[in-house]
């Protein structure tokens, strides 16, 4: 099949899945009309199986509904659903220092303290998307405030909950820099500023200069402060292909906007390397965690296949194809797309399974949970559709 036709067919499938399966599932089952906010824990057919409201998940849903409202598919109800979460979270979500708790109970009372600064990141993203959708100043203010809280805590992120002692080697972690790269991009775009340009640039350079190791041809999760790798420890050898691929499309998106060909070329190279390293040669799909030297991984669930890893890998392959026009990335897209779509979607109740075992069989039937909500999948479907239909692709 001609590439153009092939991508158009896939784009139609992504668009249909977004609008006819994924969005309706969350619209129907996740809105807590009684107490505010969203239900995060949803069974296969949308029943609530826990009431905890995790800040990451809640704010990601505010972001996603606002982003859909601001998209080519605009529906007024999506703005209402985004505001619905925003009101609940800004009313109940902050501690006395203005930092977002990690989670609330159904009524909005704090369950878990504000020990995790990514709560503030997702708040900033959610509020920024609402500003883009509405132009209302209060959303911009909330985005900037949350961002300032995040930035003020970034050097000591865990605060009083920090358990590390001097005998533990100090590391830089990829998560912070990839978060900064995307958060800066989203804020600049949604708020219509260039305020975070230098932050994005610094984060992008750090990812490629410090975390990418050209000798070992690997992107590491944790590196020494000078960018060297500690191959003697589990956390030094830790590789997270999904994280790396997500980081790479953040960089490719930024490179596209700034026209930075050098950055794009380097990110494409890393995408290829991560896909080759992360792909399971026996059962297909991408591993969740890996060890750089193939030694046993410290985490039990390392060999599982996660929905978000495959969502981010699909976007990375499409961004890399767009940037390079290298047909290898189209081949990777097809391989990922085929493997993913054959296993994750639930034809009976809609939406996708979250967790498969190494063999590719679902281990859980949940559609929402502590770490899955209305975010990675709809973002992949929305951005994927756009990429495949984009003029750059054909």
Question: Where do contacts with a copy of itself occur on this chain (CB under 8 A)?
Answer: 41, 43, 49-52, 101-102, 104-105, 107-113, 115, 160-161, 163-168, 232-234, 295-298, 300-304, 355, 357-359, 363-366, 369-370
Strand partners, 38: 31
Cα four-point dihedral sign 268, 270, 273, 274: negative
Least gap, CB of 182 to a copy of itself (angstroms): 24
> Least separation, in Å, of the C-beta of 87 and a copy of itself?
18
Closer residue to a copy of itself in complex, CB, 72/299: 299
- For a copy of itself, the closer of residues 156 and 195 by Cβ is 156
Task: Give min distance, CB of 106 to a copy of itself, in A.
Answer: 9
Cβ closest to a copy of itself, residue 155 vs residue 232: 232
Q: Which of 364, 337, 341, 342 is nearest to 353 (CA)?
A: 364
Burial (CB count <10 Å: 0-12, 13-18, 19+), residue 237 = buried
Residue 291 C-beta: closest distance to a copy of itself, Å: 8
Q: Which is nearer to a copy of itself, 53 or 272 (CB)?
A: 53
| Complex with a copy of itself: residue 364 or 386, whichever CB lies closer | 364
What is the smallest separation between the CB atom of 164 and a copy of itself, expressed in angstroms? Answer: 7
CA distance 240 to 286: 10
Torsion of CA 150, 243, 68, 11, to 10 degrees: 160
**Rounded to the nearest whole angstrom, what is the least distance from the CB of residue 243 to a copy of itself in the complex?**
16
Who contacts 211 (Cβ-Cβ below 8 Å, separation ≥6)?
Answer: 172, 174, 177, 219, 220, 221, 223, 227
**Going by C-beta distance under 8 Å and a sequence separation of 6 or more, which residues neighbour residue 73?**
18, 19
**Shortest Cβ 295–a copy of itself spacing (Å):** 5
CA distances 156 to 159, 269, 278, 392, Å, are 6, 33, 31, 42
Residue with Cβ nearer a copy of itself (113 or 154): 113
Taking alpha carbons only, the member of 387, 374, 293 closest to residue 333 is 387
Q: Which is nearer to a copy of itself, 358 or 389 (CB)?
A: 358
């Amino acid at each position: 099949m001609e590439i153009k036709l092939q991508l158009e067919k896939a784009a139609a499938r992504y668009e249909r899945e977004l609008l006819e399966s994924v969005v309706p599932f969350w619209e129907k089952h996740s809105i807590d009309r009684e107490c505010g906010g969203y239900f995060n824990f949803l069974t296969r057919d949308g029943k609530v199986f826990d009431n905890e409201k995790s800040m990451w998940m809640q704010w990601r849903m505010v972001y996603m509904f606002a982003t859909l409202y601001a998209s080519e598919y605009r529906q007024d109800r999506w703005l209402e659903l985004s505001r619905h979460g925003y009101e609940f979270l800004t009313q109940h979500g902050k501690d006395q220092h203005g930092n977002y708790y990690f989670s609330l109970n159904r009524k909005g009372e704090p369950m878990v303290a504000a020990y995790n600064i990514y709560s503030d990141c997702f708040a900033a993203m959610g509020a920024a998307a609402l500003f883009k959708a509405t132009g209302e100043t209060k959303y911009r203010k909330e985005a900037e405030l949350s961002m300032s809280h995040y930035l003020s805590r970034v050097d000591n992120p865990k605060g009083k909950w920090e358990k590390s002692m001097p005998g533990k080697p100090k590391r830089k972690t990829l998560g912070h820099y990839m978060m900064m790269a995307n958060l800066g991009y989203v804020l600049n775009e949604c708020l219509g500023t260039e305020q975070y340009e230098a932050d994005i640039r610094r984060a992008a350079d750090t990812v490629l200069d410090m975390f990418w190791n050209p000798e070992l041809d690997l992107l590491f999760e944790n590196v020494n402060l000078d960018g060297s790798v500690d191959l003697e420890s589990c956390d030094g050898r830790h590789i997270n292909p999904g994280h790396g691929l997500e980081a790479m499309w953040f960089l490719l998106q930024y490179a596209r906007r700034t026209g930075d060909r050098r950055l794009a070329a380097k990110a494409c190279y890393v995408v290829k390397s991560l896909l080759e390293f992360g792909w399971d040669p026996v059962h297909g799909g991408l591993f969740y965690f890996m060890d750089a030297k193939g030694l046993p991984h410290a985490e039990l669930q390392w060999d599982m296949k996660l929905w978000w890893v495959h969502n981010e890998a699909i976007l990375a392959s499409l961004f890399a194809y767009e940037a390079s026009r290298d047909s290898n990335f189209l081949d990777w897209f097809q391989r990922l797309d085929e493997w993913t779509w054959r296993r994750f979607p639930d034809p009976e109740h809609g939406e996708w399974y979250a967790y498969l075992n190494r063999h590719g069989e679902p281990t859980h039937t949940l559609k929402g949970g502590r770490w899955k909500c209305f975010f990675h999948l709809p973002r992949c479907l929305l951005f994927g559709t756009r990429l495949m239909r984009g003029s750059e692709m054909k």
